[in-house]
Structure formats: C-alpha cells, structure tokens
Copies of this chain bind each other. A is one copy, B any other.
Amino acid sequence: MTSLSPTVLVLDADPPPRLGSLTGRARIVHTDEAHLAERLPAADVLLVWDFTSHAVREAWPGDGPRPRWVHTASAGVDHLMCPELAASDTVVTNARGIFEQPVAEYVAALVLAVAKDLPRTLAHQREHTWVHRETRRVAGTHACVVGSGPIGRAIVRALKALEVRTALVGRVPRTGIHGPDDLDRLISRADWVIAAAPLTERTYRMFDTHRFGVMQPSAFFVNVGRGGLVDEEALVRALERRWIAGAALDVFAAEPLPGDSPLWELPGLIVSPHMSGDTFGWRDRLGAQFVELYERWAAGRPLPNVVDKTRGYVPGR
C-alpha cells in the first residue's frame, strides 16, 4: 500500500507540523538543499517548506523526471521560479490565505506607531525624560498600497478601517485598482507608501531613486513584500537627504540582514526580521494547508492557489 503512495519531497530546515496525518497516504522524504537535486527526479510532489531557500532554481531537473506539483509555504514564489519550471507542466501553488490578515495588521501597527511617534516615546522613556509632543491623526491621511493581490487588498481593508484614504496599485488597472501609469501620481500625494507586490521582473527595484524622489518629505515607506522591490542604496540616500520622513523594512535584498549593514542605524528606518506575516500558529496553519491541498491533489481534484508561472503570482480577482 505505502509503496504506491506518492512521494512528497520536503525541502526544510525545521520539519513542518501536521504532515503526520498523511502517513499511509504519502511517502514523506525530507531533504536539505545539498541533496535536493539528486532527490527531485523521484519526487511526485515538492513541498518548499524552507521558503528562504533559493535551491529549487538550481536543482530543478529541466526536462527530466520531475515533481508534478510544487507547493511553497509562502505567498511569494520568487525564490523558486526559474525558466525551466515556468516552461514545464508542473503546477505551482502558494500559501494564499495564511498571511493576508497578519501582514495587514502589521502594516496598520507600523502606520499607527509612526503616526503616534512611539519609537521616540520609547527612546525618551529610556532617558527618563517627559517630552510632550503633538502627533498625527491617522484618519484622513492617504495611503498608496502597491500590489493588488490578497495581501495588498487586506492592507487596504485594515487601513480603511482606520479611516485612512487608500489607493491600490496593481499590474493592470481594473475596478478599484489603479495601473502602473498612476503610480507616480499616487505616491507623490501619499502619507504612507506600502510595498506589497510580488517580486517579478516588472517589480524588481521598482522603488528606486526616481520613486523616492517623487514621494513627499512627510511620506513614510513600508516594505512587507520582498527586499528586491527596493533599491536599498536609493532608500539610504533618500532617508539621508530627508527626501522622505522615514521607512520600515521587513524584507531585504539579503536576509538575514548582515550585522554590518548601514540599514540598521539609518535615521528614520525601522528594521524588522521578515516577520510581518508570522503570527502564533502560522506554521501549523501552513502545515494544515498543505495537507488539505495534498488531499485534493491525491483525489485528482483541481488545486486552489495555482501560480501563473509567467507572471510569478496567483492571479486574482
């Protein structure tokens, strides 16, 4: 019986929870990056649990025997997409549904904390100094959210609930969503510019010297998408020259951010360790989601969350 079970190859550092429920229905094989290439050809399914790894790109077997389905325990698929995978008939799915609300809350937390000057309050507390300040009202301010997928839309909902006026920018204009042609105009009048787009060839370093240049001196920039969306050197210059008031980065070109990076001490910049979506229980939810998708796949039913491999994300409504 078990010899007929499909082989699920799991690329992980820490083992995923919940897969025990597949015992007898799947043959689970764990691998590290070093052994991925030799094990991929025999796998029916690849679960990319370690979504920080870029090993799939190098290990993908091209036209040879290969998994029919790849699932990544992440919203973004930039770490695994490569031309050979895109050209193949392998289905790629992502973790849509897990990260939307946590990331939206995280962005709301940053917007409110910055508006209320909380980092400075904590600094004054360390000095035992009572420094009354006036702070900003969030209601009525303007946000431009870049990335119209489920995470971007959840961010819009959270900010709207706080009475922030929001504009959403996606790859293609449609009802309620602006296209790229509107981007410069929208970010030039935004108090909050939120990057939540997938990392693709089109979005690579879209936040560059030009984009920071058109933002207002009072603008605050947040990146909860992928580090590659931002030209980090351009951001450093924009903050040093006070082109914008501040920024918060949860994602970086290189993660973990090296200890000697100038970003750690850049005035006006909040650095966090790629955690915006990771609320208690997230690993359990990711494990349970894979089990649910596996059961559909094994039953021959269509999978949800299927990535458009050409575009590099799950196309939405």
Q: Which residues of A contact B (CB under 8 A)?
A: 101-102, 105-106, 108-110, 112-113, 115-116, 118-119, 121-122, 124-125, 128-139, 158, 161-162, 255-257, 259-261, 264-265, 270-275, 278-282
Contacts and interface: CB of A to CB of B under 8 A. Distances in A.
B125 A270 contact: yes
A119 B119 CA distance: 8
A275 B162 contact: no
A280 B129 CA distance: 21
A278 B132 contact: yes
Given A131-B273, A162-B161, A112 B121 contact: no
Given A101-B137, A137-B102, A161-B161, A259 B116 contact: no
A41 B201 CA distance: 76
Copies in the complex: 2
A281 B281 CA distance: 42
A188 B133 CA distance: 34
Contacts of A265: 128
16 contacts: A101-B139, A105-B116, A105-B162, A108-B162, A109-B118, A125-B264, A129-B259, A130-B257, A132-B273, A132-B274, A132-B275, A134-B279, A135-B280, A136-B280, A137-B280, A161-B162
A121 B248 CA distance: 11
Contact of A278 (B110, B134, B281): B134
A162 B161 CA distance: 7
Given A101-B139, A125-B271, A125-B272, 18 more contacts: A105-B116, A106-B116, A109-B109, A112-B113, A119-B122, A121-B271, A121-B272, A122-B122, A128-B261, A128-B265, A129-B259, A130-B255, A132-B273, A132-B274, A132-B275, A133-B275, A135-B279, A136-B279
A275 B274 CA distance: 31
